[in-house]
Amino acid sequence: MDFRRHDIEDLAGQVRSGGLSSRELTQHALDRIDATNHEVGAFVAVDAERALAEAADIDARVASGDELGPLAGVPIGVKDTEDAIGFRTTKGSLLFAGSEVATADSVLVDRLRQAGCVIVGKVNTPELAWKADTDNRVFGRTGNPWSLERSAGGSSGGSSAAVAAGMVPLATGSDGGGSLRIPGSLCGLTTMKPSLGRVPAGGPTPPGWADLSSKGVLVHTAKESAYVLDAVIGPDPTDIRALPMPDESWRDAVENLHAPRRVVWSPTLGYAVLDPEIREVCEAAVRKLEARGTEVIVIDDVFDEDSAVPWLMLSLTANLRVVEGAVTAGHGSWDDLDPALRSMLEWAKATASPTTALESSDTAHHLNLRLVELFHQAPLLLTPTVAGHTPVGADDGTVDGVQDIAWVRYTYPFNLTRSPAGSVCAGFTADGMPVGLQVVGPQHADVAVLRLLALLEETIDLDHRCPYEPGRLGAGGADRM
């Protein structure tokens, strides 16, 4: 059994038919975690006894002839920003390391559980999900299974690494500035940031990063993403941003694929500095799409300027509220924070004004107006997912020794605009690391994005499943040179 070579839909179907037991799948996940996690550092908490008991209950229901959900018996990891019964939600922060064990699931985890998933444990995230590299002062860093000294991305880096390394076939994630797309790109996965409100973020606690962050999942393929998302999308009365249930199944929508008539390709969005090799890999993938009959319109200046500051102000002030609340409640002090995060929060506190949030929202409005204009020319936009090579992740919380967002400038504009967006593996660099190609769609056009992600997988036709095994550096670096 290798989760990297088996489709989630097929695994769940075998469990429902009795051809494969949930206990077998769960035990395999536990064995794989035991064999690999000491190198990769994806899981930060595992409850084997609870997971095997959940799996046994599913198997008993199969034997009784009960009707089970579409994800019956599938073992999963939960990002450590999300509540799951029996686990602490530390958010990768010393401020929450001693928090109470959750007695209720988040809406997303509850829907996955109701669909039949078995919760194996929690996976790593940078502190308060604030950056694109996964390490923190509670659990340390997560390595990229393609090459363990490289970054797994963030903030859903534990999720992407767990799936890429074959520990579980599915893990939850969220994306407030690229936190699904960046780790998906770096770990060779196809992932999708749904439109804001597709996956509810309700419940008793107001969602953090409320107008930026969309919940989603990390899996290997677009069809798996569509299949899993079908089980969790739809309105929830506690989420004031929740969208209505789509008219069609997303899984059905990624069948019978056809190349779109036109797409826009933007190498820099008008402001990013793109590494030449990353550009070459992405443009080779775009040419393959063009060879299938799609007209490619090149528009480099999608936006007039970088929207990093408005995005940072929204995301940092959201985290500032979390930190100040925790400190006021006596859960720690500012000294407990990652020094780089503390510095950024202090900058935001000193810089923000009473109108900052409204000004950032105005920026989001104008960015979306530009996209509306763009999508009159073609219904989908392609860009690189990241601007540079996969960085080396450092134990001190830096990437290549600095805190710099220059290599992740392609994703956060589409959190500001709430656009559906995904990433697919476009190819590999000379040193064997995956390169992501981003697909962005108009408001609520999630299906169009999913269809193009699936078509690009078919068109590019790569084996993008990481061959990592314990005791090796992974497929990157010397192993692929």
Instruction: Give residue-wise pLDDT tens across range 182-235.
Output: 999 999 999 999 999 999 999 998 888 868 999 999 999 999 999 999 999 999
Catalytic residue among 79, 122, 131, 215: 79
Which amino acid is it at 290? Answer: E
Per-residue pLDDT tens listing for the chain (481 residues): 899 999 999 999 999 999 999 999 999 999 999 999 999 999 999 999 999 999 999 999 999 999 999 999 999 999 999 999 999 999 999 999 999 999 999 999 999 999 999 999 999 999 999 999 999 999 999 999 999 999 999 999 999 999 999 999 999 999 999 999 999 999 999 999 999 999 999 999 888 886 899 999 999 999 999 999 999 999 999 999 999 999 999 999 999 999 999 999 999 999 999 999 999 999 999 999 999 999 999 999 999 999 999 999 999 999 999 999 999 999 999 999 999 999 999 999 999 999 999 999 999 999 999 999 999 999 999 999 999 999 987 544 344 433 456 889 999 999 999 999 999 999 999 999 999 999 999 999 999 999 999 999 999 999 999 999 998 655 554 343 2
What are phi and psi for residue 272, nearest 5 degrees? -80, 150
Residue 179 annotated in active site: yes
Catalytic residue among 93, 155, 185, 213: 155
Residue 79 annotated in active site: yes
Q: Report the distance separating Cα 255 and Cα 269, nearest Å.
A: 31
Label each residue of 128-189 as H, E or C.
HHCCCCCEECCCEECEECCEEEEECCCCCHHHHHHHHCCCCCEEEEEECCCCCHHHHHHCCC
Q: How many CA atoms lie within 13 A of 460 on its CB side?
A: 27
Catalytic residue among 21, 93, 179, 307: 179
Helix (H) / strand (E) containing 290: helix 276-291
Report the pLDDT value the prediction gives residue 479, as an integer from 0 to 100.
Answer: 45
Domains parsed from the chain with CATH numbers: 3-479 (3.90.1300.10)
Q: What tokens were used for 105?
A: 């699931």
Q: What tokens were used for 206?
A: 């107001």
Quick check: 150 and 269 in contact, CB under 8 A? no
If you count them, how many residues does the chain have?
481
Kindly tell me the burial class for residue 206, based on how many C-beta atoms sit within 10 Å of its own C-beta (0-12, 13-18, 19 or more). exposed
Closest-CA residue to 109 (of 203, 181, 33):
203
**pTM tops 0.85:** yes
What are phi and psi for residue 44, nearest 5 degrees? -110, -10
Report the pLDDT value the prediction gives residue 266, as an integer from 0 to 100.
Answer: 98
Which amino acid is it at 102? Answer: A
Residue 315 annotated in active site: no
Q: Report the distance separating Cα 123 and Cα 158, nearest Å.
A: 5
Quick check: 322 and 128 in contact, CB under 8 A? yes
Report the pLDDT value the prediction gives residue 205, as an integer from 0 to 100.
Answer: 86
The percent of the chain in helix, strand and coil, each rounded to the nearest 5, is 40, 15, 45
